[in-house]
Amino acid sequence: MFMLEATLYWVQKQEAVSEHITDSCPYRNVSLPCQYGIVLDAGSSHTALFVYEWLAEKQNDTGVIAQRHLCNVKGGGISSYSSSPSGAGESLRACMDKAKAIVPKDRWADTPLALGATAGMRLLEMSDSVAAKAVLSSVREVLGSYPFSYREARIISGQEEGTYGWITANYFLYNFIQFTWLGKWQWTTSTKPIGALDLGGASTQITFMTEEPLQGSPDSLTIQLYGRKYHVYSHSYLCYGRDQAIKRFLSTLYKVVAADTASSGAHVNNPCYPTLYSVAYNLSFIYDSPCTSDARPANYDPNQSVTFRGTANPAECSNTISSIFNFSACSSPNCTFDGVWQPPVRGHFLAGGGELGWALGFMLNVTNMVPVGKLPELYSTAAERILGVNRGKPE
């Protein structure tokens, strides 16, 4: 019931989240001006722009911030402009113009502006570094043309993405500090920071607090927030985001058929699709990614079309999905998969994928306000309902 617990915890805290998204400067003080910041979350499938605002004061060296505006950029992520890099920067103009209209003119020059690109650009940098540089150059040129205090546009690491997401989630849930009825901020004593699971399009991150620093672990770091130190474990699994995991899954299915010389490979059974459902993909959709390129079949033709037909088999679906994870790469009992070591997990987690994101944590860093259940049973029941195995068709 792990996911259920996380969902219930999120529902209980929704009021806290909504209170932070305001139309006016939070907790205004006539003696202190309101400051603004703009962050663009350039994900693998889309880009989102956030406008933040805060009073010109800090609580134990960390800023208290509220989200003022969210603008979703039209089109795909900036990595999708690899063949026409200039379009990456141009795609941001509509949302940037909205941000310009929201931030008061007298605050433009003091408003930090930054873009962080995640796994989509990490993959593009791996497969075509020249295109990745051209895309970032286009983005920097457009952002730099606005009258804000442009800071950076770069590809952030998976660990940064996970850590910023952890900070953002716990900030919005009041797990660091709370605003008291006396009109003052104070440390939260009733709750502890929760862990964060973030499923993106090209990668997935897990981040949670540990009692002590993990000696020798590249996934361990210490963060100071609101005068307190937090020891955190954060790991990013590249190629295990939603979109890339699907490509790996389809590659696994096609591999079996492609190896059969008696089959044309034009039709492949998919046990995770409902009966009567089918979809066709060109092989380029599956294999034109660093996550699957090593698995390309012999005589690979990127234009060959393959149809995947649903067979609604939950058991086979589960087994096939499990096969894309390497659970034997590490002998330690504290390993997850693909040889990644992870300390024991405990406490509550917030599972998401873009609803809160990592942008607020990134803003705290850019502005220097932060010194540096029974899942198988739940899955089986859900799978049977979705696949409609009892009736042979989707419910």
CA angle 203, 204, 208 (to 5 degrees): 145
User: What percentage of the chain's residues is helix, strand, coil (to nearest 5)?
Assistant: 35, 25, 40
382 labelled binding-site residue: no
202 labelled binding-site residue: yes
367 labelled binding-site residue: no
Instruction: Spot the catalytic one: 53, 161, 212, 355.
Output: 161
CA angle 364, 170, 26 (to 5 degrees): 60
CA–CA separation, 365 vs 25, rounded Å? 20
Q: Which long-range contacts (CB under 8 A, 24 or more apart) does 184-193 make?
A: 185/59, 185/64, 187/226, 187/227, 187/228, 192/347, 193/166, 193/230
For the question of residue 161 being annotated catalytic, the response is: yes
Amino acid (one-letter) located at 136: L
CA–CA separation, 240 vs 324, rounded Å? 9
201 labelled binding-site residue: yes
CA–CA separation, 13 vs 182, rounded Å? 22
186 labelled binding-site residue: no
Amino acid (one-letter) located at 156: I
Task: Please name the helix (run of DSSP H) or strand (run of DSSP E) that holds residue 113, with its range, or none.
Answer: strand 112-117
Question: Which of the 8 DSSP states describes residue 266?
Answer: S
Is the Cα torsion angle 291, 297, 298, 301 positive or negative in sign? negative
Residues within the annotated binding site? 201-205
**Residues recognised as catalytic:** 161
Residues within the annotated binding site for ATP? 201-205
